[in-house]
A and B are shown apart, each in its own frame.
Chain A
Amino acid sequence: MGSSPAVRTTRSDNLLEVTELHLWRGDRHLLRGLGFRVEAGQLLQLLWPNGTGKTSLLRCIAGFLHPEEGSIAWQGASVRADPVAFHWAVAYLGHETALKDDLTPFENLRYACALRTHHQPDQLRTALDAAGLGAIDPQLPVRNLSAGQKRRVALARLALWDATLWLLDEPAANLDAQGQAVFERLLGAHLAAGGAAIVATHRAVELPQVHCRLWRQPQEAMQ
């Protein structure tokens, strides 16, 4: 607690710092004093077993859940003090893909990305192509896509969202081998550009030249 703005700038590549985080869900003490840092270019993979709080931790960082104790600081300043600045820096992809069934993938991207920055239609199409969706009928609504294809649209949105920190909850769910490769390529590019990511998953990805940290149990230390 008590991270004042004066602490800012000491190390600019230290992006997120979580200290002594305690979270209760109902009468369960789910997160017990977690503390970690994420630096620029780093990938933190949470491989905790089911029901141990992966999703809750991500939602806590995103600000949907409020921890009972502890602090979350973004670039040295408490997230609570300036939530808007933090929100501009973060992208979240949860279990739900936040896509509209009645819109096409292109329309979905256009409206979602309009919340952040102005994109040219070509940029959106390039992002869809990069996610391996270039071959599908552009008039096809998301309703008619498979679960894996919907994930790919969501990944394309993530890449366009222009955020420094990615919070991903089971991002590779429903993805085939090629989809997994798309995900790893996007993640690799994001990290290489100085971004960071916290990924809750059961299938750790290996990225060359990336500082990948694995965290297997909430009680244990990170590797």
Chain B
Amino acid sequence: MSARASSLTAASAVLHRDLLLAARRPGEWLQPLGFFVLVTVLFPLALDPEAARLRQIAPAALWVSLLLASLLALEFLYREDARDGTLEQFALSGQSFTALLLAKTATHWLLTGLPMVLAGPLAALSLGAPLSAVPGVFVALLLGSVSLSLIGAIGAGLTLGTRRGGALLSLLVLPLVMPVLVYGARATAQAIVGEEMSEALYLLSAMGVLALTLAPLAAAAAVRISME
């Protein structure tokens, strides 16, 4: 018999497959990006468009939009694979279930998180942030969005068994990601006014590492429970 595939090969196959599926159906993963851009653009319209005022609320606007847009996307993370039986095949593949699901989360981040991270600095500029803030805003969003996807995957797994899990998902995930919101918004504010932001970035990185080590295990356990 031919050689068994390693977990890494299997996980990269999952990643490749999900990217191909996304390419065939671009509407789904463009939605969160559209939502993110739209909400950040709505702020200047609703507030008076005075630059100093906008600059003040820019961090909050960016991070709340990012958070809500990623919640919107999370609902679709496992749903289809659970419905059509793919997750069952994952569980019986003999490969690490955690690794395969982490590959799905990674693809999900590439398709929904990364576009928002790239659009974030532009949104910040439109909210009156100086050009010098762009690298800082980018790094803060990059670190924060990784944690959001990883932690959100736990909520997506837990709400798989429920019929309409969207609201429940938000209630579960929002409290867990509050630290990311706090330090992400803080780092962004510091970047905009040109202050030293390393402290907040260190904390965001620490949260990212913690999420990367623990969240995939919790997400896999949550998905297993939902398959009963």
Contact = CB atoms under 8 A, between A and B. Distances in A.
B5 interface: yes
Given A64-B91, A118-B2, A102 B24 contact: yes
A92 B90 CA distance: 11
B85 A94 contact: yes
B168 to A, nearest CB: 22
Interface stretch (A14-22, A108-116, A128-136, A175-183): A108-116
- The SS class assigned to the A binding surface is loop
B85 A98 contact: yes
Given A64-B228, A96-B83, A119-B2, 13 more contacts: A65-B228, A87-B93, A88-B4, A92-B92, A97-B84, A98-B88, A102-B24, A107-B20, A111-B13, A111-B14, A115-B10, A115-B89, A162-B1
Contacts of A96: 83-85, 88
B185 to A, nearest CB: 38
A92 B87 CA distance: 12
Of residues B10, B17, B89, B93, which shows the largest number of chain A Cβ atoms within 10 Å of its Cβ? B89
Interface in A117-144: 117-119, 141
A103 interface: yes
Contacts of A200: none
Contacts of B92: 62-63, 87, 90-92
Chain B CB within 10 A, most for which of A91, A96, A107, A118: A96
B31 interface: no
A117 B94 CA distance: 11
Interface of B: 1-5, 9-10, 13-14, 16-17, 20-21, 24-25, 83-86, 88-95, 100, 227-228
Interface size class of A (residues with CB under 8 A): 20 to 34
B87 to A, nearest CB: 8
Given A97-B85, A112-B89, A118-B2, A102 B10 contact: no
A115 B227 contact: no
Contacts of A101: 84
B17 to A, nearest CB: 4
Q: List 7 A-B pairs, minimum CB-CB distance, nearest first.
A: A96-B85, A114-B13, A98-B85, A88-B94, A115-B93, A111-B17, A87-B94
Nearest to B16: A111
A114 B5 contact: yes
A103 B20 contact: yes
